[in-house]
Amino acid sequence: MASKSRIAVFVVSAGLALTVGVPGAAAGDRPEVNPGTFVLVSGSSPHCLEVAGWSTDNGAPVQQWSCHGGNNQSWRAPGGGQLVNQHTGKCLEIGGWSTASGALAQQWECNGGANQKWEWSRVTSGGEILRNVWSGKCLDVPGGVSLWGPGYFNGVRMQQWDCWNGKNQQWFVFTPGSRSPVDY
């Protein structure tokens, strides 16, 4: 019985540690509360947000890919709403300052523009919605609502879309290396 109690305490403690490790409870720049690096895992697939092909170029696509723990899948939030890729030091943005639904996400040299700023808000699932400050639209996995739909696979480019809090707009924050690699 004592052994079961210890396991229950460990499980509860581990859950609390994960909850505490997830950026803070206030809306806005959540990761500023926990300024280390983190990975963003899609709510609609077991994939991580990354800069495609380890590119360091401005305009390189941002996509989802099987989580592998590489720095191109690690992000940090140094403040002001920016999301900076750990590998490149460049910011996640919506290209061309677009306000259109379907405009693609990319990386670009950080310049403080509103198209490179993201507001975080927690939804009841525990996931986070990332709303672009410039467009007011959310980071979205296209076609990512249904299991095994077109948005479920590696290489799908991220876009912005009207916010509706669907699973394809939810992101879960993890410490790098805390998730087992998944390859679909």
Report the pLDDT value the prediction gives residue 179, as an integer from 0 to 100.
58
CA distance 131 to 160: 9
Please state the pTM of the whole predicted model: 0.80
Mean pLDDT of 87-107: 98
What are the Cα distances from residue 85, in Å, to 55, 94, 128, 157, 176?
11, 14, 18, 16, 13
Note the pLDDT tens digit of each residue in 144-154: 666 667 778 89
Q: Using 50, 70 and 90 to split pLDDT, how confident is the model at 182?
A: very low
> Which runs of consecutive H residues, i.e. helices, occur in the chain?
2-21
Across 81-144, where does the E strand assignment appear?
Answer: 84-85, 91-94, 105-108, 118-122, 128-132, 138-140
Closest C-alpha among 120, 124, 93 to residue 109: 93
CA distance 130 to 128: 6
What percentage of the chain carries pLDDT values higher than 90? 64
